[in-house]
Structure 1
Amino acid sequence: MSSIPAAGPMSALPKLPQDRTVQLEPFNRSEALSLGVELELQLVNTHDYDLAPYAEDMLRLMAQTPLPGSVVPEMTSSMIEISTDICHSAQDVIDQLSPIREALIRNADKLNIAVVGGGTHAFQQWHERRIYDKPRFRELSELYGYLSKQFTIFGQHVHIGCPDADAALLMLHRMSRYIPHFIALSASSPFVQGQDTQFDSARLNSVFAFPLSGRAPFTLSWKEFEAYFAKMTRTGVVRSMKDFYWDIRPKPEFGTIEIRVFDTPLTVERAAALAGYVQSLGAWFLQEQPFMPTEDDYLVYTYNRFQACRFGLDAAYVDPATGEHMPLREHILMTMTRIELQSEAMNASTAIAQLRTDVEASQNDARWLRERQGKERMLAEVVRQAALRFRGAA
C-alpha cells in the first residue's frame, strides 16, 4: 500500500455540483441518554513497538468473528477504529468493548503485532505513515497534505442520545463547560516523536491545525443551525457534518451529539467509565436544568481547554458564569458530587468512583506513561507496557 502523492491546488478543491447547497439531514429520534463509544487504536509491531501498517490484515481477521459494533479503518494504515452498538450504561459499554478487545488481542497475536491505547504513539515519525486506501482518506490527503499523516493520533468519541434537535444543541453547549474535565480525565498523549511535550494531551494540538476545528457556533435553535449549515455548504468548504472537526458536534443521523476531545485511554475500562461520566452529566442537565448556556460561556473556553491539555488534572479552571478561578481537580470533584444521584440512576456509580479515586490521586494515563518512562528511560518499553495494560495484563 503506497502513500498518496501530493496534489496541486486545483485538485485539492472539493468537487461540488453547480448548486453547492447541501441539505442537512433531519435529526433522527434516539433514546435520551443512550450511549455509543468509538475508540481509535494503535497497531504496533512486537520487535521495536513502532507503529505497524497492519490495519488491512487486522480488519480481515476481525470480520471473521461476530461482534457488537464495528471495526473500521482510519486515516493511516497503522490505526483502526472500534465502536459499540447503542448502549444504555457504562456497564453496557464495557460488556461490548470487552469481547471486541479479546478478538483484537487474539488476532494481533496471530499477526505478531500488539494493540495499544493512548492518544499518540510515543515515538513514531509521521512521514513514515501510509494513508489507508479509501476514497475519503485519499481526498483528505489531497486537501490537507502532510497534516493527514500527522493526524495519526488516537481519540475516543462518545455519543449521547438526545430527545430532539433543539435539546441536542442545548446539551452540546452545556457539555462545553465540561470539555476541560474530559480532556484532563482522558489525557494520554504526553509524548510526540520521542519527546516529552510537557502537555498531558498533546494530541489535541494536531486537531487545532485543521480549519474547521474548535467549537460549534452558538445557537440553541436547530432551524438556525440548519441555516448556518446551508451557508457553509454554499461556500463550497463543507459538504457534510463530517467536515467539521469540532470538539462536540451534532450527529443528526444518529440523534446524538458526539464529544470528540477525549484521548483514547490505555484501557477499555477507563473508556467505559468516561462514557458513564458523560451520561451522568447529561442526566443532570435533563433533570435539573442547572444553567442556561450563553455565548459568554465561550469567553474562557479556549483558555480552559489549553489549561487542561497542558497541565491535565493540575490545570486551572475559570468558571465562565462567575469568573471564579479554581483548580480543575476541585471543579471535577465538585461536579462528581453534584451528579451522584444521576450517576446512581445511570448505573455509573462504580465507574465514576474509579475516576474520582484517580482525580484525588492526581493520576491519569499521561502520568502513568511518564512514570513508566521515568523508570525505564526507553519509550519502546513504555509502549510495550502500554500494550500489556490494554490486554489487562499489567
Structure 2
Amino acid sequence: MKGHKSPQETLNFKNSKPFTVGAELEVQLVNREDFSLSDSADIIFKNLPEDLKDIVQPEVLTSMVEIVSPVCEKPEEVVYYLRKALKEINQIGKDYGFIISALGTHTFARKEETHITAKERYLRLLKELQIVLRQFLIYGLHIHVGFPDKESAVRAYNLTINYLPVFLGISTSSPFFYGEFTGLHSYRTKIFEQLPRAGIPEYFKDFSQFEELFFILKDEGFIESIKDIWWDVRIHPDLGTVELRVCDSNPELDRIELLITLFQGISMLAQEIRVPEFYYQILKQNKWNATRHSIYGKFIDVNKTSTIKEKAFELLEDIQKKGIFEKLKIENRIEQLKNVLKKKPVSEKMILVYKKTNDIRILESLGFIEE
C-alpha cells in the first residue's frame, strides 16, 4: 500500500499546549419514574443557560447528550465543568421528568425504542452501518491530552495502546444489555467493536505512517475526517491531541478524575521511555480480560503477569516516582485517587445488586451522577 498518498496530501497537526486535558462524557437521559430512555435532548438545549451551550452537545440518539469540557490544565478542572453541566441538566430534568444516568449501556432499552438525531452525519452513518448503529445503546468517556508536536503525540499514542485494558478495567459499567446480564463487565466494548474502524489500533513508527493510512481510507471514500475513525485511542490532528476512547461512561466523578490523571501521566511518561510493543494477540487478550473481568482480569506485561488493578497501581507509582505528577502540579491529588482504585468498579456494584434483587430496571439508578 506504500505510495498511495499523493505528495500534496498532508495532515496538519495543530500543536497544543503540552499535556493539557479535556473530556467528553456521553450520558443517557432516562425517565425518573421507570428509568426508560427519554427523548429529552431538545428540551435540554432549549433550557440550557448561555454559559453551558458550548459544553453540552447533541449525540447520535435523541435520548442522550455529550458533556464536552473546555481545555484544562488539571484533571480536577475537567471534573468541575462536567459536574456543573450535569447538575444543570438534572435540574432541568426535575421539571420535565428525566434524569441523567452515566452507564456504558442502558440496562434494558431496545433499539426499537430509540430515535437517531436528525443530523446529516448521523443519517449518513445509519445508511452505511444499518443495524450496527441502530443497536448503539452505548455511552462512553473520551479523554484528550494535548501535545506540542505530532511526534510526541505518536509516542503517547503507542504507549497508551499497551494500557488500554487498564483504562477499560477502571471504567467498566456495562454488564447489562437488552434486559439481560451479559456475564461481561463491559458489554459496550463488544458492541463498539462491531464498527469497521474500531477496537485496538496498530502502532505507528512516526506520524507519516499514520498520515498514509488516514489518506488511504479517505481517498477511497471510507472516511471524511478523523471523526470517522473510532479506534480505542486515536491521534486527533485537528485538535493537537491524543484521544482515549476505550472507557465506558461512568457516574463516579472521582473515578473520571483518576482516568484523566492516569492518561495525562502516561502521555508524559511516553516522552521519557522506550515504548515496548506487545504482540497484537496479547493486546487483544488483555483487553478481553478487562472486558470480561474488569480490574480483576489478568494483565500480561513484557516480563510478568499481574491483575489489571495491580498494573494500574504500578503505573501510578512509576509515574509518581519519575516526578511527573509533581511537574503537572497534581501531586496533591494522587493519594486520594489511589483510594478510588481500591473501590469496586461500577460494573461489580451493578452485578452485586442484581444478584440480590434480580431487578434489572433498578440498576439504571446506579448510573445516577454523584453530586
Distance in 2 separating the partners of 1:201 and 1:55: 25
Query: Where do residues 78-227 of structure 1 align in structure 2 (5 Å cutoff)?
Result: 78-227=63-212
Counterpart of 2:341? 359
Q: Quick one: which of 305, 309, 314 aligns to 2:296?
A: 314
The secondary structure found in structure 1 opposite 2:145 is strand
Counterpart of 1:30? 16
The secondary structure found in structure 2 opposite 1:237 is coil
Q: Quick one: which of 311, 322, 327 aligns to 1:331?
A: 311
* AA at the equivalent of 1:131: I
Counterpart of 1:4? none
Deviates more, 1:243-252 or 1:19-28: 19-28
Distance in 1 separating the partners of 2:27 and 2:333: 22
* AA at the equivalent of 1:39: L
Deviates more, 1:182-191 or 1:265-274: 265-274
* AA at the equivalent of 2:273: P
The secondary structure found in structure 1 opposite 2:72 is coil
Quick check: 1:79–1:152 contact (8 Å CA) kept in 2?
A: no
- 1:375 positional shift: 3.4
Distance in 2 separating the partners of 1:360 and 1:57: 38
Q: Structure 2 vs 1, CA of residues 219 and 83 (structure 1 numbering), >3 Å: closer, same or farther?
A: same
Counterpart of 2:274? 291
Counterpart of 1:369? 350
Q: Quick one: which of 337, 342, 346 aligns to 2:328?
A: 346
Q: Structure 2 vs 1, CA of residues 239 and 305 (structure 1 numbering), >3 Å: closer, same or farther?
A: same
Unaligned runs of 5+ in 2: none
Deviates more, 1:35-44 or 1:234-243: 234-243
Deviates more, 1:120-129 or 1:20-29: 20-29
Instruction: Report Cα offsets for 1:312-369 as digits up to 9, x if no partner.
Output: 11101111x33x22222221221121122323443444654344334345x1111122
Query: Where do residues 5-24 of structure 1 align in structure 2 (5 Å cutoff)?
Result: 23=9
Matched residue count: 365
The secondary structure found in structure 1 opposite 2:294 is helix
Distance in 1 separating the partners of 2:205 and 2:47: 44
Q: Structure 2 vs 1, CA of residues 32 and 208 (structure 1 numbering), >3 Å: closer, same or farther?
A: same
Counterpart of 1:59? 45
Counterpart of 1:242? 227
The secondary structure found in structure 2 opposite 1:238 is coil
The secondary structure found in structure 1 opposite 2:50 is coil
- 1:68 positional shift: 8.0
Instruction: Report Cα offsets for 1:251-290 as digits up to 9, x if no partner.
Output: 111100100001111133322221112112222223xx22
Alignment of 1:279 with 2:264, yes or no, is: yes
* AA at the equivalent of 1:45: N
Distance in 2 separating the partners of 1:172 and 1:284: 11
Quick check: 2:251–2:370 contact (8 Å CA) kept in 1?
A: no
Distance in 2 separating the partners of 1:259 and 1:24: 23
Distance in 1 separating the partners of 2:242 and 2:53: 21
Quick check: 2:168–2:291 contact (8 Å CA) kept in 1?
A: yes
Q: Structure 2 vs 1, CA of residues 140 and 21 (structure 1 numbering), >3 Å: closer, same or farther?
A: farther
Q: Structure 2 vs 1, CA of residues 349 and 108 (structure 1 numbering), >3 Å: closer, same or farther?
A: farther
TM-score, normalised with respect to structure 1: 0.87
* AA at the equivalent of 1:49: F
* AA at the equivalent of 2:28: Q
- 1:172 positional shift: 0.1
Distance in 2 separating the partners of 1:56 and 1:72: 10
- 1:199 positional shift: 0.9
Distance in 1 separating the partners of 2:140 and 2:98: 20
Counterpart of 2:60? 75
- 1:186 positional shift: 0.5
The secondary structure found in structure 1 opposite 2:38 is coil
* AA at the equivalent of 1:137: Y
The secondary structure found in structure 2 opposite 1:39 is strand
Distance in 1 separating the partners of 2:180 and 2:331: 37
Quick check: 1:122–1:191 contact (8 Å CA) kept in 2?
A: yes
Distance in 2 separating the partners of 1:315 and 1:217: 23
* AA at the equivalent of 1:175: T
Quick check: 2:156–2:266 contact (8 Å CA) kept in 1?
A: no
Q: Structure 2 vs 1, CA of residues 353 and 124 (structure 1 numbering), >3 Å: closer, same or farther?
A: farther
Q: Structure 2 vs 1, CA of residues 209 and 95 (structure 1 numbering), >3 Å: closer, same or farther?
A: same
